[in-house]
Every structure is written in C-alpha cells, then in structure tokens.
Amino acid sequence: MDLFELLHYAFLQNALSASCAVAACAAVIGYFLIGRGLTFAGHALPNIGFAGAAGAVFFGIAPVLGLFAFTIGAAIVFAFLGKEVHERDLGIGVVMTFCLGLGLFFLALYSGYAERVYGILFGTILGISDTEVHLTLISSLVTLVGIAAIYRPLLFSSAGTESAAARGVPIRFLAVAFLVLTAATVSLAVQVTGSLLVFTLLVGPAATARTFSRRPSAAIGLAVLLAEAYVVVGILLAAITKTLPVSFFVASLSFGVYVPSRLLQKRKTWKR
Amino acid sequence: MRRRIIKIKLMIQCLIDKYYSGKYSPLIKRGRMSQKNDAGEACISMTQVSIRLGDTTIQRNMNFQLAHGEFVAILGPNGAGESTLLKVLLGFLRPSEGEVRVLGETPKTGNKLIGYMPQFQTLDSINTLRARDIVGFGLDGHRWGFGLPSRKREKKLDEALEEVDALSFPKASLDEVSGGERQRLLLAQALISDPRLLLLDEPMASLDISHSQEIISLVARVCRARKITVLLVTHDVNPLLPHIDQVLYLANGQSALGRPDEVITSEVLSRLYGSRVEVVNALGRRFVAGVEI
C-alpha cells in the first residue's frame, strides 16, 4: 500500500499524534531518570501499571485510569524509599513483583477477552481512540510543562543533593514531583509500546543522546528527536507490513541506534 | 574540674574574639560586604550550643564567636562532629540546645550568603556534566524553570572559572579532570553566588600533597581577596598552618577555638580528649599522638 495513502487513515493519524506526544515526554523524563540513577524505577513503573490496567479491565473501567492510579501511587512510594541506591532498588523490586502478582490475580479472575490484556503488555497504539488521543495530548503537555517548571532545580539536585539542599532546593518535593511525572509518562507510553517495552522509549533515546552530548539541553533535544523518529518510523513500518507490531520496530530501532553510538563513545574515551 | 578550665578558657577566647571582631569590623565594612546586620555582630556566634544526632550528643555547650574574614580549620577525630557542625550552620540540623547565629540570623537553608562544598555528592551523575554547567548550578540552579542563555551569565561563569584557574577546561566533565581540578570546580560553584561565609567539608580528602597545597592556597587567596570567612574541615592541619587564623578543635563532645599554637598543644588536646595526648613538633609540623586517637 502507498505510504501517502496510508496517512489519510484516521487510526494512523491518531497513532502518530499520540505517539509523538508520548515520545517527547518519555525522552525528557528518560534523561533525568538516567541522571538520577532511577532507571530501575523506570523499568518497574510500567510493570506496576500492568497490575493497575489489569485491575481496571477486571472492574470494567478504562485501563488507562488503572495505569495512572497504580503508577502514581507507586511513584510516591518510591520517592520515600530513600536515596541509598541499593536499598531503594530492593524496595522497588519488591513492590514491582507484588504488583505483577496482583496483575496475574486480576487476570485469573477476569473471564473476558485476553486481547485487552495483550494490548496492555505490548501496546495498542494502532487502535487508539479519539478520546484517548486527547487525553494523551493533554497529559503530555502537562508533563512537559511540569518538567520545564522544575528543570533547573531538578538538574541541580540530580547532580549534587547536598549542594542543592544547601541552596534551598526542595529535594524531597522534587523527588516526588519528578516520579509522579514519570508515572504519568509511563502510563501514556504503555499505550504505544505496551508495559513490557516502555523502557525502550523511556531510556533508549536518552541513553543514546547522552553518549553524544554532555550539555543537558543538547542531550534532551537529541533524545526527543530520536524518540520521535523511532515512533514515527515504527508506526509507519507496522502499518506497511500490517502484521508486525509497532513496539517491535520501536524497540529494534532504539537498540539498533544505541549499540553503535555506545561503541563509538567507547572508542572516543579510549583515544584520550 | 577539667571542663571548668575549658569553659573559662572558652570564655576568655570569646572575649578576645569579641574584641577582635569589634576592631576589624570597620575594615570589613569598607570591603565588598556592606550588609547592615554585621556592623558589630560576629560572622558566627554559638551560645551554649549542644548538637545531638539521634541519641548521641555530639557537642555539648559550644560557645564561640568568629569574626568576619577569618580562615578557620576545623579539626578533630572522625565522628567528633565536624561535618555535623557545618550542617547546623547551614540550617540542615537544629541544635538541641542553645543559640546559633550565622551572619546575624538563625541558620536557614537557601542562604546564598553561605557557600558550601560537601565532602561527598550522593549522586554521581555530576560526573558527566560539563565544568561550566556545574559551576552554573551555584548561580541559578535553585531557580525554578529553565534559564535562557545570556551574555551576563556567561561572563559570570568565565569569571568564576578564572578565579579557580579552570578556564582551560570549561567543557570537560568531572570524570575527565583530576581530583584537584574537580575540587576547584566545586569551589567555584560554592563561590559564584558571592557568599560571605564558605563552608568546606574536607576539600583535600582524596588529594595528594601537592594538590592539597594547591586547593589550600586557592582558598586562602579567595578568603583574603574577598574578605570572607572560611571554615574548612580537615584531618591534617599541617599544610594549612601558614594560612589559617584559628583552629576549632572538636573532640569528645568538647571544643576549643584559638590560634593553632594555642589550641594544638598537649595541654589543651589532653583536656579535650580526656586522656593523655602529646603534640609533637617536628620539622616545622605538628603531630598529635595519643592513646585513643
């Protein structure tokens, strides 16, 4: 089928606009997740969201509401798990596995179509509705504005908690605010890539961008561009092939760009 | 009995300090600092201060005053409360008793007149940022929103980098520079907000002797040129001896403040530790030897 012809379809337009909004948020959030050593939380949140979505399906409400409730709740818990990385990650792991178990519990009780659950795990972006697109666009905008509002103190506290605290930066508030924004982004990104593959959009572009630039603004800008490219190309490829899923392409692109850029960076440091 | 002697000594010290702070304040006022509230007041004043961390009392009945523009080394065994004292001065921690005044106010976080260089940074993501951005945090890292680049800001950053001799590597990241260069950048971050008081927590902790000397002479130079008060926590006073005005020695819940030759003596340290301590002078350096140190 002609690519140009494809773009006239409403489902594809919906998929593209929602994905582009989500990709921008995910890339920005991902940059800070890496900087704050919170990538494990970035992996855990979508899995926790899965339980919320499965619960929502079981109770017959919109999965995205369950996603928001569970991920934001977990994010607040994470923010209070302390800054000792080992201790915090243990806590995150325990919460995550409990939630996965809970998700399984809801699934076992649920007797409807398994397709909806499959969609949560691997993404349903090509089947996204108009209302969901609007919700996604508004939530993405709120997330981006939120990050912009806390940009400098967030960066400062990521780079030196003690110095930042001495200058009056509200460390705890920022930790909570940032993780709540992360939870919102994860909930949105689950639609695109599914909860199993959120990491690829959340951390992949930011990790690649970080190998190219040390300047936060440049790295974030590059991460956003990469994330947009991944979702657009991924959706178009999926639409063209018709049978292959979007998340497969997004994950493959993310991986395929990260590996060479990482290898290039290694060589650069070697030369020094 | 011992405690009483120390108390009397401290009271005398307080009187001496008050005299000096009175004497020097007009000089300071003429300098870059023309704050209203320190016309006569000391830079730091501690009255009957006790500091507790959990169940342990770290310092009891601290009494001292520090005049503006002094370079003071804080010495003592590990765990005697050197870093905790800095945290009290920064407003992270309230004293369990007594009154602390810093620059004429009760300590509160977010005071840009206090520059702080912590010993450890909890997160290591600072290592991948550029020198320039790290120094920039000291200027506007605490402000909300994102800053737009401006010529004025760039100029300030250049000046700050120049002051610590870091203009040659503004784009290097912390994991690419040496330990000494790293400390210089963090010092620039603490200095860029034009503080009146500089608190340095073991800035020489991981440096060799020549890099330690470099940091010390830089701090001394800045302290004199800007006429700011510097409190520097260290475990080795020797490289600091030519530069410092006073020593604040913390040990065993007690403290003593005075000139190095007054405080680092067998007599005073034995009283502080509550056991026999011998200060040995050799090769122009001071060595503290004792049973429980």
The 8-class DSSP code of residue B173 comes to B
**Which residues in chain A have Cβ-Cβ distances shorter than 8 Å to B140?**
152
CB contact under 8 A, B130 and A159: no
Q: Are A216 and A32 within 8 A, CB to CB?
A: no
In this predicted structure, what is the pLDDT of residue B286? 86
- With respect to residue A162, please indicate whether it lies within any of the assigned structural domains: yes
- How is residue B10 written in tokens? 């401290």
- With respect to residue A271, please indicate whether it lies within any of the assigned structural domains: no
Q: In whole angstroms, what is the distance from residue A192 CA to residue B21 CA?
A: 67
- With respect to residue A183, please indicate whether it lies within any of the assigned structural domains: yes
User: Phi and psi at residue B116, in whole multiples of 5°?
Assistant: -135, 135
CB contact under 8 A, A164 and B137: yes
- With respect to residue A272, please indicate whether it lies within any of the assigned structural domains: no
In this predicted structure, what is the pLDDT of residue B123? 55
Cα of B115 to nearest chain A Cα, Å: 8
Enumerate residues 6+ apart whose C-beta is below 8 A from B237: B73, B75, B244, B247, B260, B264, B286
Helix axes A39-59, A115-122, angle to 10 degrees: 160
CB contact under 8 A, A37 and B125: yes
pLDDT higher than 90, residue A137: yes
Lowest-confidence segment of A94-98, B46-50, B136-140, B235-239 by average pLDDT:
B235-239
- With respect to residue A243, please indicate whether it lies within any of the assigned structural domains: yes
- Select from A180, A205, A216, A172 the least CA-distant residue to A80: A172
Per-residue pLDDT tens over the stretch A145-202: 999 999 999 999 998 889 999 999 999 999 999 999 999 999 999 988 898 889 999 9
- With respect to residue A253, please indicate whether it lies within any of the assigned structural domains: yes
Helical H segments across B82-227, by residue range: 82-90, 131-140, 151-163, 179-191, 209-226
Confidence of residue B37 (pLDDT cuts 50, 70, 90): very low
**Which residues in chain A have Cβ-Cβ distances shorter than 8 Å to B144?**
149-150, 152-153
- Sign of CA pseudo-dihedral B220, B222, B226, B232: negative
**Which residues in chain B have Cβ-Cβ distances shorter than 8 Å to A35?**
123, 125
Lowest-confidence segment of A102-116, B126-140, B198-212 by average pLDDT:
A102-116
If residue A86 lies in a helix (H) or strand (E), which one and from where to where?
A: helix A85-109
Q: In whole angstroms, what is the distance from residue B286 CA to residue A184 CA?
A: 60
- Its domain, for residue A256, covers 3-266
Q: How many domains does chain A divide into?
A: 1
Number of other residues whose CB lies within 10 A of the CB of residue B120: 11
If residue B69 lies in a helix (H) or strand (E), which one and from where to where?
A: none
Across the interface, which of B116, B129, B145 has its CB nearest the CB of A152?
B145
In this predicted structure, what is the pLDDT of residue A77? 94
Amino acid, single-letter form, for residue B70? E
CATH classification of the domain holding A73? 1.10.3470.10
In this predicted structure, what is the pLDDT of residue A140? 96
Q: Which long-range contacts (CB under 8 A, 24 or more apart) does A175-178 make?
A: A175/A79, A176/A75, A176/A76, A176/A79, A176/A80, A177/A146, A177/A150, A178/A32, A178/A36, A178/A150, A178/A154
In this predicted structure, what is the pLDDT of residue B1? 55
What torsion do the CA atoms of B220, B221, B226, B228 make, to the nearest 10 degrees? 0
Lowest-confidence segment of A144-158, A257-271, B242-256 by average pLDDT:
A257-271
Q: Which residue of A has its CA nearest to B129?
A: A214
Residue with tokens 């605490």: B142
Q: In whole angstroms, what is the distance from residue A178 CA to residue A199 CA?
A: 17
- With respect to residue A43, please indicate whether it lies within any of the assigned structural domains: yes
Residue % of chain B over a pLDDT of 70 = 83
In this predicted structure, what is the pLDDT of residue B158? 94
Q: Are A23 and A230 within 8 A, CB to CB?
A: yes
User: Stretch B200-220: mean pLDDT, rounded?
Assistant: 93
Q: In whole angstroms, what is the distance from residue A181 CA to residue A165 CA?
A: 21
Classified as helix, coil or strand, B239 is helix
Q: In whole angstroms, what is the distance from residue A217 CA to residue A27 CA?
A: 12
Cα of A34 to nearest chain B Cα, Å: 8
- Which residues does B contribute to its contact with A (CB < 8 Å)? 90, 92, 109-112, 114, 116-118, 120-126, 128-130, 133-134, 137-138, 140-147, 171, 173, 176, 186, 189-190, 193
Cα of A236 to nearest chain B Cα, Å: 34
**Which residues in chain B have Cβ-Cβ distances shorter than 8 Å to A152?**
140-147
Report pTM.
Answer: 0.88
Lowest-confidence segment of A76-80, A124-128, A196-200, B62-66 by average pLDDT:
A124-128
In this predicted structure, what is the pLDDT of residue B273? 86
CB contact under 8 A, B133 and A215: yes
- Select from A79, A108, A83 the least CA-distant residue to A95: A79
Size of interface A-B (CB pairs under 8 A): 106
Q: Which residue of B has its CA nearest to A84?
A: B122
CB burial class (10 A; 0-12, 13-18, 19+) of residue B9? Answer: middle
- With respect to residue A134, please indicate whether it lies within any of the assigned structural domains: yes
Amino acid, single-letter form, for residue B174? L
Across the interface, which of A156, A160, A214 has its CB nearest the CB of B128?
A214
For residue B98, CA distances in Å to A181, B61, B95, B231 come to: 42, 8, 7, 21
